[in-house]
Amino acid sequence: MRDSYHEQLDGIGDGLVEMSRLAGSAVSRATTALLDADLALAEQVIAGDEVVNELYRTIEAQAFDLLARQQPVAGDLRVLVTSLRMVVDLERTGDYAVHLAKIARRRHPASAVPPELRSTVLEMGQTAQRIAVKAGSVIASRDLALAAELVRDDDVMDDLHRKLFTTMLSPSWSHGAEAAIDITLAGRYYERLADHAVAVARRVAYLVTGEHLDEDDLEA
Amino acid sequence: MRDSYHEQLDGIGDGLVEMSRLAGSAVSRATTALLDADLALAEQVIAGDEVVNELYRTIEAQAFDLLARQQPVAGDLRVLVTSLRMVVDLERTGDYAVHLAKIARRRHPASAVPPELRSTVLEMGQTAQRIAVKAGSVIASRDLALAAELVRDDDVMDDLHRKLFTTMLSPSWSHGAEAAIDITLAGRYYERLADHAVAVARRVAYLVTGEHLDEDDLEA
């Protein structure tokens, strides 16, 4: 049987996994809201972020409490300190889903996504969701192969991000500055959401191996 | 005389202040590079970020080392854990200055900033520099009045950011999608750089008082 201290430590891990799952769900719904100009769904994503913020505050308080009362050493200490960094990353993933939903809300009843970019944005949403959920799996399993896979998923996201710019800068772009602003922001939000989820996976890898996953670590 | 342990703790604080100073200097030079299409200056900012990254790695290693070897409690523990979060924020401020410099490089020999936005971008650069340098002062002095001032400086940044959008969305905008993309990204980088510097000040305030500076904390 686990003692109360290790139960609390496990509880922090569970909370981080739950935050990843919520971020994945939020970015998926925000993408639908963007594509379908679905105002109700956008509002739902925006309101739902309060659950993520509440988890953030709870996990932070628990981790500080354990640090202060239990004076953990070595492995447990690294886990707690790393958790206090991961919880910041995961809180940000939730914020980026909200930013996407706010673009949908601002442009409603129109869609912020021009027809020729619908498939790219859809794929960015799916990739972001996959990365967020996988980040949770990496926290739960400490599976380094999965962490490496996630870094490759992020390369897919970077390619999709570049595709947005290629389309906007082509002579056939007919949607003017307003659509370009929205798509530039949305692209940035998807990319950053994925970066933060990848940062979580990198932190787990660092925890397990003591080595950074690759040289791009500081970019994440 | 300070013992070696407290000297090391002070050293971490000094390193964080130095990172703030470097970020302030980098964003100031990146702004000049943007406005004057100064390629050499842009390259200097991009290359200079390695110094910030090196400080990041050094401070992180020192903090983990102190945590592991000294098992600090209470106040010192909070300082170390908070330092491990602030160093992430400050590393990001350096990244945003680099992102700005890269816009200048990409658009060289043209300037990415249309004439009607020059004064706004100049002011954003000055505000960002002021915020970054003040964040360092807050770390060094733990002056909460200065921390609150910094939050107000960030409101100035938000106003300037909105001004960019108003200009780009006005019927008189004649610079098309490409300039809109660059200005949208630059605006976002200035805003985020300031957010991270403000986050540092908030973390110091939390360290001193145990209370968050205000309710927007999670947005930072």
Nearest to A90 by CA among A8, A14, A188: A14
Q: Give, rounded to a whole angstrom, the gap between the first and last alpha carbons of chain B.
A: 38
pLDDT of res. A215: 42
Residue A59 DSSP code: H
pLDDT of res. A218: 41
Q: For residue B147, how far is the Cα from the chain centroid?
A: 14
* Angle at CA of residue B166, ends B160 and B172, nearest 5°: 130
Q: Quick count: other Cβ atoms within 10 Å of Cβ B214? A: 12
Residue A124 DSSP code: H
Q: Count how many domains chain A has.
A: 1
pTM of the model: 0.92
pLDDT of res. B2: 65
Domain of residue A50 covers 4-219
DSSP string for B147-201: HHHHHHHHHHHHHHHHHHHHHHHSTT--SHHHHHHHHHHHHHHHHHHHHHHHHHH
Q: Which chain B residue has its CA at the smallest distance from A79's CA?
A: B64
Closest approach of chain A CAs to the CA of B53, in angstroms?
Answer: 7
A150: its two tokens: 């996630």
pLDDT of res. B195: 96
Q: Which residues of A touch B77 (CB under 8 A)?
A: 67-68
Q: Which chain A residue has its CA at the smallest distance from B70's CA?
A: A73
Among the residue ranges A192-196, B197-201, B210-214, the one predicted with the least confidence is: B210-214
Q: Which chain A residue has its CA at the smallest distance from B199's CA?
A: A88
Question: B1: pLDDT confidence band, cut at 50, 70 and 90?
Answer: low
Whole-number Å distance between alpha carbons of B70 and B84: 16
Rounded average pLDDT over B157-178: 96
Question: B218: pLDDT confidence band, cut at 50, 70 and 90?
Answer: very low
Contact A45, A33 (CB under 8 A): yes
Q: Which residues of A touch B68 (CB under 8 A)?
A: 73-74, 77
Q: Which amino acid is at B135?
A: A
Whole-number Å distance between alpha carbons of B189 and A167: 22
Whole-number Å distance between alpha carbons of A90 and A194: 10
Q: Which amino acid is at B82?
A: T
pLDDT of res. B5: 84
A61, containing H or E segment: helix A39-70
> Residue A10 to residues A17, A66, A84, A134: CA-CA distances in angstroms?
11, 12, 14, 18
Q: Which residues of B touch A69 (CB under 8 A)?
A: none
pLDDT of res. A21: 97
Of B64, B73, B169, the CB nearest to A177: B169
Whole-number Å distance between alpha carbons of B216 and A56: 14
Residue with tokens 């594509």: A35
Q: Is the pLDDT of residue B151 over 80?
A: yes
The residues of B whose Cβ lies within 8 A of any Cβ of A are 53, 56, 64, 67-68, 71, 73-74, 77-78, 81, 84-85, 88, 91, 95, 165, 168-169, 173, 175-178, 180-181, 184-185, 188, 218-219
Nearest to A39 by CA among A51, A29, A49: A29
Q: B1-17: b or e for each residue (b if 16 or more CB lie within 10 Å)?
A: eeeeeeebbeebbebbb
Q: Which chain B residue has its CA at the smallest distance from A165's CA?
A: B181
- Report the percent of chain B where pLDDT is more than 90: 81
Q: What is the ipTM of this complex?
A: 0.90
Q: Which residues of B touch A77 (CB under 8 A)?
A: 67-68
Contact B97, B196 (CB under 8 A): no
> Residue A216 to residues A110, A155, B91, B143: CA-CA distances in angstroms?
38, 12, 13, 35
Q: Is the pLDDT of residue B101 over 90?
A: yes
Q: Is the pLDDT of residue B220 over 70?
A: no
Specify which of A69-78, B138-147, B207-216 reaches the highest per-range mean pLDDT.
Answer: B138-147
Residue A134 belongs to a domain with what CATH number? 1.20.58.220
Rounded average pLDDT over B184-208: 95
B53, containing H or E segment: helix B39-70
Contact B51, B98 (CB under 8 A): no
> Residue B171 to residues A212, B76, B160, B164, B175: CA-CA distances in angstroms?
49, 56, 19, 14, 11
pLDDT of res. A73: 76
Residue A217 DSSP code: G
Whole-number Å distance between alpha carbons of A177 and B153: 29
Specify which of A70-74, A148-152, B33-37, B201-205 reaches the highest per-range mean pLDDT.
Answer: B33-37
Contact B206, B82 (CB under 8 A): yes
A35: its two tokens: 């594509």
A120: its two tokens: 């790219």
Q: For residue B136, how far is the Cα from the chain centroid?
A: 10
Whole-number Å distance between alpha carbons of A127 and A121: 10
Model confidence over B47-97: pLDDT tens digits?
Answer: 999 999 999 999 999 998 898 888 787 788 889 989 999 999 999 999 999
pLDDT of res. B214: 57
**Who contacts A74 (Cβ-Cβ below 8 Å, separation ≥6)?**
B68
pLDDT of res. B212: 67
Whole-number Å distance between alpha carbons of A65 and B218: 20
Whole-number Å distance between alpha carbons of A30 and A51: 16
Q: What is the 3-state secondary structure (H, E, C) of A163-176?
A: HHHHHHHCCCCCCH
Which residues does chain A have with pLDDT short of 70?
Answer: 1-2, 212-220
